[in-house]
Structure 1
Amino acid sequence: MNTPKTGALAEMILRGVGGPENIESLTHCATRLRFQLHDGTKVDQAALDALDGVMGTVPQSGDRFQIVIGGAVAGVYSDIVNLPSMSKAGKPAAKSDADVKAEIRAKGRGRFAWLDNFFEYLSDSFRPLLGVLLGASLIIAIASMLDAFGLVDFRSADKSATWVFVDAMWRSVLYFLPIMVAYNAAKKLKIDPWVGAAVMAAVMTPNFTGMIGSKTPGVTTTTNATLGTSESVAHVFGLPMQLNDYGGQVFVPLLMVALLALVYKGLKRIFPENVQMVFVPFFSMLIMIPLTAFLIGPLGVWAGNGLGSGLSWLNGHAPIVFAIVIPMLYPFLVPLGLHWPLNALMLQNINTLGYDFIQGPMGTWNFACFGATAGVLLLSIRHRETMMRQTATGALAAGVLGGISEPSLYGIHLRFKRIYPRMLAGCLVGGVTIGILGGVNTEAFAFTSLLTIPVFDPMIKYIIAISVAFFTAMALVYFADYRTKEERAQVNAERDAAAAEKAAAKATVPAQAVKAEERELVTVGAGTGASAGSATGSAAEGKSLELKAPVAGRVIGLGEIEDPVFSSRALGEGVGIEPADGRIVAPVDGELITVADTGHAYGIRTADGTEVLVHVGIDTVQMKGDGFDVHVKAGQKVTAGDHLADVDLDAVRAAGHPAVTLMTVLNTAEMTSVEPRVGQDVTAGTPVVTVRR
């Protein structure tokens, strides 16, 4: 089954979530569509899960619903929002008295929707930054790779202007991360996001940070002789204010915006609408900038440092326990979208310690996940499961190159219960390995992929740990299978039955013996041509005809062709030739009854009524003539050896099609015998099939 185009998929998704009238809002992240619905019970989850192009679905509380698409999510999102019917979406649903009472009762009963809201707040504050974080991590990876090969001293204190500029390319994301997080958090809480960004920016200006350690009047700096650390305090309006560099902080903007939302919405209730645009932002900034500088900022730094120190203590005193807990925890956090708080801690560690120790163990989970996907891919190739092969290939590419695990999780792992235990075994072995080796650190926030390996230190320990995790999970999935024996037997039987049914259906009637786009080629024996064949048939009985190779190459039997139509002889007996060049010639004297517009197929009828098909490549009709230079036309008389076409074999193979050239006798059933000669290397014009009437 082919994956539907994104436009068609958009319409089917829209129906599956209950129609546009049921959509309150729609956003998307790197892999998922995120719906806020009026009524979650209207979702047809089974129908959505069955759609090609949908990797999985995730119902959530509060009528929220997620649909996992993968890398094509932006295109599907765009198609959905541009559907004409979406003009009916985004309108608040009318609430009855019963609805209002039910909501109040639900709040009073203390349900766990608040927990979902909390994690949604954290996730939505970071999720839109996925692209720039990934971009920054790859810039760091490239620089670290050059450093590893000794081409540049990436960590030198006196780098040239060139490398200072390269540093700015990735530090821009990490340093100004608090402003970006504040913007997203404010947007999530439905207040002016620019106010959130402005409040956070106020404590990150050069004027503010320049006071740290300076001799500015009113600023005092003390040094802790034991720890060697210094602390600056500014006396503002007579009050002491601890000075911090908030670059890279994530807890400060999260705490600040949560309080800002209360202030902002309270001010909107106070001021009339006609003056809100001026006074609500003004008073919000007037209140929140001092609160952030005096209270929330130091509190956020303290909270972030405390969490980081706690994990650092565990990593220092029980490194194996820490290295096991992290990769074993992630497989359960990521599907629920609860992994962003740990990602925030990684950023906090880099900002405060100068390095992070969580990403190393986390990498073993990612590679165990990708290893399990690789095991599924190998099994899909072995068992000829086309759809699973396509799904696993895309998921594996997204993983090992981009460090994104959702396509693997939703497209494969969560659908087959036998995969998760084997993937967890890979996580466990990888975690134990990295713990025994003494842990791995990184000075950068990096998505754990093949491209970011150089940012980890010691790199060799990291490579060993992720390799062990990858190959353990891959081997366990491959040798144990992700299906039970009964499921495997049933799936393989259904596959074989479908192939046989398809071949039998095509062999029933000559006009049905070829793919829809090639049916015209089987009409060489129809109409007046059929009469001519029957008229000459009696006179030709007992005679033999030699069909010559239409191209130079190695002759093989039709049974070796990876196409059920040809291998089942539905198009008659004949041979395949693995071509040595792209010059195609006529195999016999006759008339060209059919020449495909795309140049990939030719139907020839001989004087005695033998119908011969020359077909260049498998499924090459999809190339629409690209790479085919045709020298003949339908109705033309040809002699064996006449030049039919030139084919660019490299273009055929680059398009993903086998280049084997087929020659079959379409009306084999009318012949006494059709005898192919296989297993030889031939030049064009060498006899390869004997036809006896």
Structure 2
Amino acid sequence: MNTPTPGALAEKILSGVGGSENIESLTHCATRLRFQLRDGEKVDQAALDALDGVMGTVPQSGDRFQIVIGGAVAGVYSDLMNLPSMTGGATPRPPSDAEVKAEIRAKGRGRFAWLDNFFEYLSDSFRPLLGVLLGASLIIAIASMLDAFGLVDFRSADKSATWVFVDSMWRSVLYFLPIMVAYNAAKKLKIDPWVGATVMAAVMTPNFTGMIGSKTPGVTTTTNTTLGTSESVAHVFGLPMQLNDYGGQVFVPLLMVALLALVYKGLKRIFPENVQMVFVPFFSMLIMIPLTAFLIGPMGVWAGNGLGTGLSWLNGNAPIVFAIVIPMLYPFLVPLGLHWPLNALMLVNINTLGYDFIQGPMGTWNFACFGATAGVLLLSVRHREKDMRQTATGALAAGLLGGISEPSLYGIHLRFKRIYPRMLVGCLVGGVIIGVLGGVNTKAFAFTSLLTIPVFDPMIKYIIAISAAFFTSMALVYFADYRTKEERAQVNAERDAAEAAPGDKAVVPAQTVAADDRELVAVGAAAAASAGSVAKAATAAGTPVADEAPVAGKGLELTAPVAGRVVGLGEVEDPVFASRALGEGVGIEPADGRVVAPVDGELITVADTGHAFGIRTANGVEVLIHVGIDTVKMQGKGFDVRVAAGQKVSAGDLLAEVDLAAVRAAGHPAVTLMTVLNTADMTSVEPHTGQDVTAGTPVVTVRR
């Protein structure tokens, strides 16, 4: 295929986005053209993806569209703007009456933005815990399997030390989940996460829990006749404080951290910056630990106990309604941790009645949840989503074998709002079947998994109900998708760009390359928000590249452009960088705003906004330094650029000084990204992550 001339490429891009009359506005960052279109449906995405010089396309909501060009983006942008048909184009037109009305309606819908924020808060509080949740769930699944086959009594009160130890392996996650959730929730709300964890841990220490049911002076204990549980109250400073075991309670830390964030940020406004490190955590703990112990914690427990009492009444007076209500409530109780008191009620039922009436209907919720996960798994296979396929496979295994819904909920369902309505239909179908067939009971406390089906009676009714719930949710999620049409298009575009990028096959283990046949290049890490591997784009734009490889054994060092913590590209929030479409490299969480050259070379790109720099070495290694994610939107505010395009620089030369506080205040991650744009031309690119570095420290090794 012949490479189009720059002007021809611009014309084909213009045609692909629907012509100049369809362009509301056009800007560019270090690697992407960013279009605001009047009608996104007019884009011929397939034709654009097929163009030489285009590395990928990224459709976005609101008729926004991005085209990944690479290092030649400035030239392509200039060619586009200079096309005759673009004269006076790419400027906003006055909105029509219909658009004005639509904007007003959109503002009206904004009153539900709290719901989006709430789900995001839940999701981000649990998502980092997915790995340990899956680990604990699989341990439970193995133990449950052994229990089902009669090899060990998993629920025995007098288990051997061996099985007590095995219990501790998974209970460590579930019991201390409130502390982990508090840490993540505090991090999400941008306050010190260790303060959040400390406040929650204070009411989970042996000192605190040891007072429950004890004869400590000032502690009184009573019994709840409905739930069969004991309730202890301590008189602290003359005030009554309800004592609870908060193990496994996640509603309490979520509520606590929301209030802690207000206190913490308020204290930061009160105390001068030079004493905040001491006094802000101190007063936060002094205020929030008592509030949690006296008010927030008991509120969570009271909510759970009240729910249990209500369900007991409902089952006694309207059992058919109960069979429907339970599976419909559980999807909302589990994320908040309010389902834990029901476990106590299940045990009370078994001890007093000889059977339990909750676990049967609850099983239909679990299998509806697992069915939704199965639908996501099928879609991830269909659309070649590797990460989601791995997540869904683990969550489904934990669910079907261990009866654990948390990995599915926290890892998938709470991240995609389209899943819940479809999962609820499965819950409803399963609940109706159990209600119509007369209910399902069990004489054992069991995880509702495939392995525990035999403990339910009548078993055939239970199988019919959970099968209907599972396959209903699976079908609805699969055929409707868990992503919107726009999200699916964007994810598929990013996947195609990642699969098309040749960089991965160029990366080989260092030990497979002979020492005298390779050139070492240590690359310093930092980069943020843009597009894909520049070798192809540079050729398309007519940019010359080095024709000869460097002499074997000759070293060239590219060092960290900023001081800070080195992370892998997979950990950054920009999907294009994370997919390695712009080449392999690293990210650095910057400790200061000084950005220096990581290598000797020529500045082939200096963004007008100061957020991105492209350097080409004498040997043709192309390096992109990108400061922050989406910082192009800051339009240069906070960026003091000290160099210009075409300038020769040496490693360590100052490129820019960045006001990191301004970047963060604008809502942008400050992570600095650095990638080797022509990774495909290298034998290997090996990032060295997980270390704290100063500017000038080698962080990536590139071998020619």
TM-score by length of 2: 0.44
Structure possessing the higher relative contact order (Cα contacts under 8 Å, 6 or more residues apart): 2
TM-score by length of 1: 0.45
Larger Rg: 1
